[in-house]
Chains A and B, each alone.
Chain A
């Protein structure tokens, strides 16, 4: 478990950095190249989840590339944490953009969070091809189920 604890902490730290320092850059609409350059840089900040820590139960259905999402709720601290991985860099970056806005939330805030708005405000959805958007919708649907059951 200590490995996963480290992984949760490391991911949380990276996501916090992304939220504070990199999200504002993404929110300024510029050239599409700049946007993707920022996304790639952002993906590189995140720790890699080793193969053996990617259970098939965590695989998100509906993605063209594979993506894994693990969720932890710390009931003592009342905080939701996420650990994730994808074999596609852009997907990993987009997951980070989404998750950095909700990682570490308390249960009440998490349940009330409008997930679809997290990407829209960054002008990201319009830049995604339909199949990519479909993959992200699956992630959002998965998170909404978590919201409902939390």
Chain B
């Protein structure tokens, strides 16, 4: 049976509560299906206990649910073992753990890290914070004139033999899908560890981390229909073993004396403190549910909407489209010529169209493409064609108000 957007959308109570809004800010956060909300509610109402420590069977039961969630996440991304899934508070926390954790073990002063111009600040600042100050050098893959990643430059920069290569799966600004499998292969050929920022990529495509063969893959729960406050750091076992814990405290410890501390084994070694237990369990439930949906149908639906929206916006001479129609996960980024993106967003907000405007936590990218920012429409599988049409009409109205002919 073909993917039915209405049936899928009915599972998201937000839309019933907000029938007047058109929500096209899905790259910022997605809405939540009832099954996720039920999971949170069920845990707190019926199963709430702390994990991995109780002398009572309630704690054991909570632990079981938590570890089952780890297995669900592992299954969802095709990880070999559940122990390769580390729960963090989100993508940013996972990238900070990586930057801190690799410094001194894999990264030594004078070593190089390779990033791309497309990166979100979360995949730039941690490397600057933890590594650059200790003498590690950052190289950056530039873009071509049509805003594509310059793959020739990527290969060239790999000749500097970076120890770590970190890049997004999908650009949060332009929506473009990077050739991650090829990039991983090239990076590993020069002996680098690979990190994929999957914050936007995880929802776009079915992920198989073993097939990708990446050393690390990180993502947030809230962008894939899950709760806020939980994210995932996947790593190959050997790669995870290179990480010095960023946080110390309960749960990650085997033995503590004031002279010396022995860490627990993976994954607990990298999960200090009480985890977001309910959120982890709800994320597991959500991914287990999502794996059973028609993901190919969802992707096709999103692509149809993208093309539909694209064609109409491209026909408007007052607009400058920054993202491309092909190889795009479902993001249309544009500016109204001569106008500031926040003005456009204000006029869309008046018409109850939720978009994001600004620099989208990617200032280096905007400096590179010489725009003060942009308006971003980001689609999801529950987005309807009527919503895209409403947004396009609203953009027409905004253009008419901003640049009267």
Which A residues form the contact surface with B (CB < 8 A)?
A: 32-33, 36-37, 40, 64-65, 87-91, 127-129, 131-132
Q: Contact between A88 and B401 (Cβ–Cβ < 8 Å)? A: no
Q: Which chain B residues in 362-405 approach chain A with CB under 8 Å? A: 372, 397, 401-402, 404
Q: Contact between B350 and A89 (Cβ–Cβ < 8 Å)? A: no
Q: Contact between B342 and A88 (Cβ–Cβ < 8 Å)? A: yes
Q: Contact between B342 and A65 (Cβ–Cβ < 8 Å)? A: yes
25 A-B pairs with CB atoms under 8 Å apart are A32-B350, A33-B401, A36-B350, A36-B401, A37-B401, A37-B404, A40-B401, A64-B342, A64-B357, A65-B340, A65-B343, A88-B340, A88-B342, A89-B339, A89-B340, A89-B343, A89-B402, A90-B342, A90-B343, A91-B343, A129-B345, A129-B346, A129-B349, A131-B342, A132-B342
A65 partner residues in chain B, CB cutoff 8 A: 340, 342-343, 372
Closest to A63 in B: B342
Of B342, B357, B358, chain A has the most CB atoms within 10 Å of the CB of: B342
Q: Contact between A128 and B346 (Cβ–Cβ < 8 Å)? A: yes
Q: Is B239 an interface residue (CB 8 A)?
A: no
B358 partner residues in chain A, CB cutoff 8 A: 64
A127 partner residues in chain B, CB cutoff 8 A: 350
* B contact residues, range: 10 to 19
Q: Is B347 an interface residue (CB 8 A)?
A: yes
For B343, give its contact among A32, A33, A88 (CB under 8 Å): A88
Whole-angstrom CA separation of A87 from B338 in the bound complex: 10
B27 to chain A, nearest CB (A): 17
For B347, give its contact among A36, A64, A87, A131 (CB under 8 Å): A36
Whole-angstrom CA separation of A64 from B402 in the bound complex: 18
B399 to chain A, nearest CB (A): 12
B401 to chain A, nearest CB (A): 5
Which B residues form the contact surface with A (CB < 8 A)?
A: 339-340, 342-343, 345-347, 349-350, 357-358, 372, 397, 401-402, 404
A70 to chain B, nearest CB (A): 20
A50 to chain B, nearest CB (A): 17
Closest to B348 in A: A129
A36 partner residues in chain B, CB cutoff 8 A: 347, 350, 401
A40 partner residues in chain B, CB cutoff 8 A: 401-402, 404
B404 partner residues in chain A, CB cutoff 8 A: 37, 40
B312 to chain A, nearest CB (A): 21
Whole-angstrom CA separation of A127 from B347 in the bound complex: 10
A129 partner residues in chain B, CB cutoff 8 A: 345-346, 349
Closest to A88 in B: B340
Taking A89-B340, A128-B346 as given, write out 8 further A-B residue pairs in contact, using a Cβ cutoff of 8 Å, ordered by the A residue number: A33-B397, A40-B401, A40-B402, A89-B343, A90-B342, A90-B347, A91-B340, A127-B350
A64 partner residues in chain B, CB cutoff 8 A: 342, 357-358
Whole-angstrom CA separation of A74 from B14 in the bound complex: 56
Closest to B350 in A: A32
A37 partner residues in chain B, CB cutoff 8 A: 401, 404
Q: Contact between A132 and B340 (Cβ–Cβ < 8 Å)? A: no
Whole-angstrom CA separation of A129 from B342 in the bound complex: 10
Whole-angstrom CA separation of A88 from B343 in the bound complex: 6
A87 partner residues in chain B, CB cutoff 8 A: 340, 372
B347 partner residues in chain A, CB cutoff 8 A: 36, 90
B401 partner residues in chain A, CB cutoff 8 A: 33, 36-37, 40
Of B346, B347, B397, chain A has the most CB atoms within 10 Å of the CB of: B346
Closest to A132 in B: B346
Whole-angstrom CA separation of A103 from B343 in the bound complex: 25
Whole-angstrom CA separation of A129 from B402 in the bound complex: 17
Closest to A64 in B: B342
A128 partner residues in chain B, CB cutoff 8 A: 346
Whole-angstrom CA separation of A121 from B346 in the bound complex: 20
Whole-angstrom CA separation of A131 from B350 in the bound complex: 13
B339 partner residues in chain A, CB cutoff 8 A: 89
A140 to chain B, nearest CB (A): 18
Whole-angstrom CA separation of A37 from B342 in the bound complex: 16
B338 to chain A, nearest CB (A): 9
Closest to A36 in B: B401
B346 partner residues in chain A, CB cutoff 8 A: 90, 128-129, 132
User: What are the 6 A-B residue pairs with the smallest beta carbon separation, nearest first?
Assistant: A88-B340, A64-B342, A90-B343, A65-B342, A129-B349, A88-B343
Closest to B358 in A: A64
A88 partner residues in chain B, CB cutoff 8 A: 340, 342-343
B351 to chain A, nearest CB (A): 8
Whole-angstrom CA separation of A36 from B346 in the bound complex: 10
